[in-house]
Structure 1
Amino acid sequence: MTLFWIATLILVTIACVFIAIPLIQRKANNDTVLRDELNKAFYKDRLSELEEETQEGLVGDQSELIADLKQSLLDDIPEQGKAVEARQMSTLAVLIPSVLVVVLSYGLYAKFGYYDKVEQWQNISANLPDLTRKLMAPAGQGVQLTDQEMQDLTLSLRTRLYYQPEDSTGWLLLGRIGLANRDMQTAVGAMKHAYALEPTDGDIQLGYAQALMLSDDEMDQNQARTMLERLASRDYVDLRVYSLLAFDAFERAEYQAAIDYWRRMQQMIGPNDARYQMLTRSIASAERSLGQGSDAAADSVQVTISLGGNVSLPADAVLIVSVHTADGAPMPVAAARYPLSQFPRTVVLDDSNSMIQGRKLSDLDSLMVRVRVDRDGNVATKQGDWFGESEAVNLGQPVEVVIDKQY
Structure 2
Amino acid sequence: MTLFWVLTLILVVIACVFVAIPLLKPKVNNDAALRDELNKAFYKDRLAELAVEADEGLVEDQHELVADLKQSLLDDIPNVPRKGEERSLSTMMVLVPSVVLVVALSYGLYATFGNYQKVKHWQDISQNLPELSKKLMNPQGVELTDKEMEDLTLALRTRLHYEPQDSTGWLLLGRIGLANRDMETAIGSMKKAYALEPQDGDIKLGYAQALMLSNDQMDQQSARSLLNKMLKGDYVDLRVYSLLAFDAFERQDFATAIEHWQSMQEMVGPNDARYEMLSRSIASAKAKMEPATLDDHAVSVTISLGNEVVLPQQGVVIVSVHSADGAPMPIAAARYPLGSFPFTVILDDSNSMMQGRKLSDLQSLIVRVRIDSDGNVATREGDWFGESDIAELGSGIKVEINQQF
The TM-score, its normalising length taken from structure 2, stands at 0.58
The answer as to whether partners of 1:19 and 1:97 remain within 8 angstroms in 2 is yes
**Residue 67 of structure 1 is aligned with which of 58, 65, 70?**
70
Alignment partner for residue 35 of structure 2, among 35, 39, 44?
A: 39
Distance 1:256 1:341 in 2: 15
Unaligned segments of structure 2, at least 5 residues: 301-334, 338-344, 349-393, 395-405
CA contact (8 A) 2:292 2:346 kept: no
| CA deviations over 1:66-89 (Å, ceiling 9, x no partner) | 632542432x336779x95x8877
Name the structure 1 match of 2:130: 129
Tell whether 2:2 aligns with 1:6.
no
- The CA deviation string for residues 49-68 of structure 1, in whole angstroms up to 9 with x for no partner, is 57766887669328615632
**Deviations, residues 192-229 of structure 1 (Å, cap 9, x unaligned):** 33123223323211101111212233333233223223
C-alpha distance in 2, partners of 1:17/1:303? 91
Question: What pairs up with 1:154-233 in 2 under 5 angstroms?
Answer: 154-233=153-232
Deviation at 1:246, TM superposition (A): 1.6
What is the CA-CA distance between 1:297 and the residue it aligns to? 6.1
2:383 aligns with none
Q: Which residue of 2 aligns with 1:120?
A: 121
TM-score (norm 1): 0.58
Uncovered stretches (5+) of structure 1, i.e. residues with no partner: 305-339, 349-396, 398-407
Q: CA RMSD in A?
A: 4.4
Conservation of the 8 A alpha-carbon contact between 1:289 and 1:347 = no
Whether the aligned pair in 2 keeps the contact of 1:231 and 1:241 (CA below 8 Å) is yes
SS at match of 1:28: coil
Matches of 2:196 and 2:19, distance apart in 1? 51
Report the Cα distance in structure 2 between the residues aligned to 1:137 and 1:260, rounded to whole angstroms: 28
Instruction: State yes or no: 1:286 paired with 2:288.
Output: no
How far residue 248 of structure 1 moved from its aligned partner, in angstroms, is: 0.7
Question: Percent of aligned pairs with the same residue?
Answer: 53
Provide the C-alpha distance between the structure 1 equivalents of 2:92 and 2:40, rounded to a whole number of angstroms. Answer: 34
Counting matched residue pairs gives 300
* Higher Rg of the two aligned structures: 2
1:1-400 correspondence runs (5 A): 1-21=1-21, 27-29=26-28, 31=29, 34-45=30-41, 49=45, 60-61=62-63, 64=67, 67-74=70-77, 76-77=78-79, 84=86, 98-135=99-136, 139=140, 145-270=144-269, 273-291=272-290
Name the amino acid aligned to 2:218: M
Q: Which whole-Å deviations, capped at 9, do the CAs of 1:262-313 have from their partners, x for residues lacking one?
A: 344344445555444443443333233233899x669xx9999xxxxxxxxx
Residues 43 and 69 in structure 1, CA contact (< 8 A), matched pair in contact too: no
- Inter-CA distance 194–136: structure 2 relative to 1 (3 Å threshold): closer
Shift in CA distance, 193/114, structure 1 to aligned 2, threshold 3 Å? same
Give the distance between the partners of 1:302 and 1:266, measured in 2 at CA. 31
Question: How far apart are the structure 2 equivalents of 1:194 and 1:214?
Answer: 17
